[in-house]
Amino acid sequence: MQEETARSAIDTFISAFNASNDSYVTALLSQALTSDVVFWGPLGRSEGIAAVERFVLDIRRHPAGTGTMVRCSEVDMPDEWARYQWVFTTPDGGPRLAGTDVVHLRRSLIDQVIVFAGEIEPSAS
């Protein structure tokens, strides 16, 4: 049951990267994250949904074009922390970024996100 809750929150978080319009990003993040979420990203620590929204919007505005973020592993939740792997690919075989996120849940919402991004590499054809 706990893994199902984590998977739902994670998939909603990832859906913000793939929203059909930037205006939907905040609503999707609000469904997945606590308002006081702590985000540990490539540029350091930030807090709140607005900080995560800035990160998501930056990824969505990749110079190679709007890409797609997908979870490419099962959600592994050995304790109160869950982890999963993801991949972000830009259109036309552009840059691909892969990584692992670790999230902590509180009341079925993500209250901490730690992003471990891998190297950018061309997508496989």
The token duo for 98 is 């892969």
Helix axes 25-32, 49-60, angle to 10 degrees: 130
For the domain covering 1-117, report its CATH number. 3.10.450.50
pLDDT along the chain (125 residues), means of 10: 88 95 95 96 90 91 82 89 91 79 93 82 53
Dist CA 66 CA 80 (whole Å):
33
Amino acid 62: pLDDT: 78
Q: Where are the domains of the chain?
A: 1-117
Dist CA 111 CA 39 (whole Å):
8
Which pTM value belongs to this model? 0.87
Amino acid 119: pLDDT: 58
Dist CA 110 CA 17 (whole Å):
16
Amino acid 78: pLDDT: 76
Amino acid 1: pLDDT: 60
Amino acid 121: pLDDT: 57
**C-beta separation of 50 from 25 below 8 A:** no
- Give 27-68 as a DSSP string: HHHHHHEEEEEEEEETTEEEESHHHHHHHHHHHHT-TT---E
Dist CA 2 CA 80 (whole Å):
9
